[in-house]
Structure 1
Amino acid sequence: MSPRRPGLVVLVAFVAALAGRFTLVRVGLDVPVVNDVRVPLFLVLLLCLALETHRSGPHPAAGGYALLGVAALLAYQGISVLWAPPGAVTGPAVGDLCAIAGLLLVYFTLAAWDRDGVTAVTLTLFHVAAWVYFLAAATGRGHASNGRWAALGGGPNVFVRIMVLGAITSLYLYLRNGERLIWLVPIPAFLFGAVASGSRGGMAALGITVTVALLAIRPRLDFARLAKPLALLAVVAAVLVITVGPLIAGYVQQRFIEATLGQGYASQRDVLFQMALRIFLQRPILGTGLNGFNAVANLGFGERYVHNLPLSMAAEGGFVGLALLLLAWLCLWYAYRSVPVRERSLEARTAAYCGIFIGAASLFSGDYYDARLMWILLLLAAVRPAPAPAGAVTRPLARGAAARHVRPGSGGAGPGPPGH
């Protein structure tokens, strides 16, 4: 008899993770307590998780120490409010840390229950979300004032992350569904949306992710196998550029070429990075404390975070914070590497690449809460159900477990993180 798998809780967890700091004010409502949609969403999520796990029993996890590294980092950040400077607004930041911790606890439980099933649903939902965001932006709704593409209340830097995740999950669905070319068709559209977002950091993060992927799969590349998919992508991309490319051609010329290459415009990232490094050198051990960067830097309204996760941790957490950040990454990496190469599922490998992309994007934009998807995706790649004791697995379950790892398109030139 096959084990019971998580149901609605996976969808609720995805919505809670993707929603971010969405408030009802954006749709013209102002309701106390539940104005931040995370409050009702998290209550529903925890209720669903409690009901489902109560019915299915405990789920031992392998690689659970990966969660401990991230938990130690979040706990230290919370404690750092004790030495935050006067004027630092720490309440919302503490709430964000608690939200991240809650999401990670939920996804850890789900990964220990049925990692590959949960990850498959999550990746598919990212693909659906990418379509929703792309179609919303293509209609002109949600664009920034300077013409950069965005949608559903999120900024261009959020939009580019969803677009790239859509492209990665397109490749995942292509490999998972017998290499049917139809699944590759959305990739040029999503990459077009990524360019239209004007996010230079997002495009740099995509370049980093592609480089990591090529280094990982280079020994196993089959160019004969890739010829037809690449030809299809080239044709679709050409059609897309010819039909709608002129709509953003001038904007791309101004944003990426003239402003970036010609004028060296960096959206003040260089100023923020230099200030963060200066604060770190002034307070090298413990930093300024949680959300203390803006109070110490005094750069004016709006510049409230560094837009670089390691530098932000250095400025606000000092050497201790940087060490814990590195420890969290190493725990996730070691948990992932502890699985033999042949036993790494397509879902785990794809989640790892998605997490690498979000991590690379966190070098150029976003704050601590914006890195939540990185932690979730890397956790899904690293944590898995604990192996059953010898002789305890029934024959039908053994066949089901094998089916999740051996499916059409999951081998060969499929994606695999560094060292695959």
Structure 2
Amino acid sequence: MNTTAAPRPGLVVLMAFVVSLSGRFTLERVGLDVPVVNDVRVPLFLVLLLALVLEAHHIGPRPVEGGFALLGILALLGYQGLSVLWVPPGTVTGPAVGDLCAIAGLLLVYFNLAAWDRDRVTATTLKLFHAAAWVYFLAAASGQGHYSNGRWAALGGGPNVFVRIMILGVITSLYLYLRSGERLIWLMPIPAFLFGAVASGSRGGIVALAVTIAVALLAIRPRIDPERIAKPLALVAVVGTVLVIVAGPSIAGYVQQRFVEATIGQGYASSRDVLFQMALRIFLQRPILGTGINGFNIVNDMGLGEQYVHNLPLSIAAEGGFTGLMLLLVAWLGLWHGYTATPAGERSLEARTAAYCGIFIGATSLFSGDYYDARLMWIFLLLAAVRPARDPDTPPR
């Protein structure tokens, strides 16, 4: 009998997390200009791939279940990259294609990690996002990174990035609470993270949270035990009340202006409605293939800059047409099939938590961000769908 423990992924998981979280950080933000490596993704990806190779060679090939879910996403990304062949003249496609390649690289890394030890990788990733939420919250609470209009942000990311990290902090707090045997201390951060989410002023992020809660309640409704959840809810309510009393006045005026007066009173939508109409018009004009990657700006004569649709399906519809939408649907269905292939009673807590994280990021992608900003959605949903193949002789957990 071989008693040697199988190698487990270690440093490579941390590296994958850093690359995933870092976004498009460039050295120019800190006053440096180094060709090639200005985009920190270049050296980070090299280190990540080296770490993966060094760790993975110890265990050889790894059978996997749900692997077809990756193929659907790669087909969509490949089609989007191929669309450079029909973009309007003058379209700048290099950065967008680079983003697609970066997403594909991250997904290949996480696919290999999931095939290796999905639950361990996911658990480590969730804990790292919990730690990141604390770092972002404390940085923003100290006044570092606030926008001139009062919206909270931190570490070079905008408010819409900040709200994603805050809500991931909420979800990972619930995960740690359940994983620890329902120790109430893990629920204590939830009011702080929710406070940060509101302070970000991201209306789309709040709506995405509501969507995620609705999906979760539909899934767990038959198993809800009122007595079991009474104490946790009371604790969160008490801590939240204290936080609002102590820190609420610092953002009260801003919240009143942003959420009540501007949104409800004036119907202000940060031009999202205009951008959505532009994307829909392009789709109706070019319904089969769309404008090609990054063609939205050129067709609408918006010039160069970060002008994008802020809605993932509409963006794909405008720049990839009906073909792109079908590939998006295939990718989502593949992930759903991979996730549901495991019976509900056998799904690990890690897989379920990753699914909710992916649903939340996907919901935020209906209101903000571009293709690269959706990377965490693909990563979390892939971690929910892909898992090591089970030994036929091993009984289900």
TM bracket (short chain) = over 0.9
Of 224, 227, 241 in structure 2, the residue corresponding to residue 224 of structure 1 is: 227
Instruction: Show the counterpart of 2:35.
Output: 32
**Cα shift at 1:120:** 0.1
Of 311, 315, 318 in structure 1, the residue corresponding to residue 314 of structure 2 is: 311
Residues 87 and 293 in structure 2, CA contact (< 8 A), matched pair in contact too: yes
Instruction: Show the counterpart of 1:214.
Output: 217
Instruction: Show the counterpart of 1:387.
Output: 390
Q: Say whether 1:50 aligns with 2:65.
A: no
Of 337, 345, 349 in structure 1, the residue corresponding to residue 348 of structure 2 is: 345
Q: Say whether 1:178 aligns with 2:181.
A: yes
**Cα shift at 1:32:** 1.4
Q: Say whether 1:237 aligns with 2:240.
A: yes
SS in 2 for 1:280: helix
Opposite residue 170 of structure 1, the aligned amino acid is S
Q: Tell me which moved more, 182-191 or 24-33.
A: 24-33
Whole-angstrom CA distance in 1 between matches of 2:239 and 2:305: 40
Q: Say whether 1:141 aligns with 2:144.
A: yes
Whole-angstrom CA distance in 1 between matches of 2:299 and 2:173: 44
Opposite residue 63 of structure 2, the aligned amino acid is P
**Number of residues paired by the alignment?**
394
Instruction: Show the counterpart of 2:12.
Output: 9
Q: Tell me which moved more, 43-52 or 1-10.
A: 1-10
SS in 2 for 1:149: coil
Deviations 1:102-159 (A, max 9, x none): 0000000000000000000000000000000000000100111211000000000000
Of 252, 256, 275 in structure 1, the residue corresponding to residue 255 of structure 2 is: 252
Deviations 1:367-401 (A, max 9, x none): 000000000000000000011243xx6xxxx8xx8
Instruction: Show the counterpart of 1:330.
Output: 333
Q: CA RMSD in A?
A: 1.0
Q: Say whether 1:297 aligns with 2:300.
A: yes
Of 87, 90, 109 in structure 2, the residue corresponding to residue 87 of structure 1 is: 90
Whole-angstrom CA distance in 1 between matches of 2:144 and 2:35: 28
**Cα shift at 1:34:** 1.1
Whole-angstrom CA distance in 2 between matches of 1:156 and 1:134: 12
Opposite residue 333 of structure 2, the aligned amino acid is L
SS in 1 for 2:57: helix
Instruction: Show the counterpart of 1:414.
Output: none
Instruction: Show the counterpart of 2:25.
Output: 22
Alignment of 1:187-202 (within 5 A): 187-202=190-205
| Identity among equivalent pairs (%) | 79
**Cα shift at 1:80:** 0.2
Uncovered stretches (5+) of structure 1, i.e. residues with no partner: 403-420
Q: TM-score, normalised by structure 2?
A: 0.98
Give the direction of change, closer, same or farther, for the CA distance of 1:325–1:22 in structure 2 (3 Å limit): same
Whole-angstrom CA distance in 1 between matches of 2:226 and 2:62: 42
Instruction: Show the counterpart of 1:405.
Output: none
Of 104, 111, 126 in structure 1, the residue corresponding to residue 107 of structure 2 is: 104
Instruction: Show the counterpart of 2:376.
Output: 373
Whole-angstrom CA distance in 1 between matches of 2:14 and 2:88: 40
Moved over 3 A (4+): 299-303
Instruction: Show the counterpart of 1:287.
Output: 290
Whole-angstrom CA distance in 2 between matches of 1:190 and 1:42: 30
Instruction: Show the counterpart of 2:367.
Output: 364
Residues 289 and 321 in structure 2, CA contact (< 8 A), matched pair in contact too: yes
Whole-angstrom CA distance in 1 between matches of 2:303 and 2:36: 29
